[in-house]
Structure 1
Amino acid sequence: MSNENMMSLCQRYTNYPVKVSLANGEEFESVIEYVDQENLHVLYPVDQSEYPMQITQLEGFQSMNENEAHRYGYGYPPYGYGGFRPYGWRRWVLPLTALAAIALL
C-alpha cells in the first residue's frame, strides 16, 4: 500500500482503537492520535510495570466495526473502558513506511 493510501486510511481511523500491523510482522493495539505526511502517532495503554496492554483486554471494551463507526460519525465512538482504567497511556510515533495494515477493533 502506498504512503498516500496508508495516510488516508490512518486519517479515516483517527481517534479509534485499531490493530496496527508492521512490515516486520509485529502487531499491536492502539488508538490513532493523528497522522502527518511521514508518521503515524498512536496512544497505547500500559500497566503499572509500563508493559503495553491490549485494548481489547480492557474491561468494558466493546468492539466496533466500520459500519458502526460511520453511524455515529467520527469523534464519537460508542465504546467504553468500563470501571477498569489502564495505569497510563504512552505515545508512539511510527513511520508510515513501516505499516503493513490497519484495522478497526
Structure 2
Amino acid sequence: MAKVQLMDIAIARSGDKGDGSNVGIKARTPAIYQFLKMTLTTELVKEHFKEICFGKVTRYELDNLNALNFILEDSLGGGGTETLIMDAQGKVHGLALLFMELEVPDELLA
C-alpha cells in the first residue's frame, strides 16, 4: 500500500448550482475506478469538506465513464447571490478533493 493524493490516480471537475456544488472524479484506469467505488465514500468526502459542507453528500456512480459524481449540499454559504463568502463558487471543490490522501494498493500505481 502507498499513501497518495487523489490527484495521482484521478482527475476532477466541479461546479456549483445555487447553494450546492458537485464534484466529478474520473479514475485514470478502470481498476482505479473499482478501487474508488469501494473507498471514496460519501462519509469520506463529507469529512474532507467538513468545514464548508453542512448538508448531505450524495454520490452517483457513472460506470460507463469510470467516474463518481458527488453533490455537496449547503456548501456555498447560500450561493453566489446570498453569501458574504468572497468566492462562493464550487469550481475549486474538485481541486480541493484531489488533495485528499488515500492508501492505494501498489499494483494500482504501476
Structures share fold, TM-score greater than 0.5: no
TM-score by length of 1: 0.31
Going by fraction, where is helix more abundant, 1 or 2?
A: 2
TM-score by length of 2: 0.30
Higher relative CO (CA 8 A, sep ≥ 6), structure 1 or 2?
Answer: 2
Q: Which protein has the larger Cα radius of gyration, Structure 1 or Structure 2? A: 2
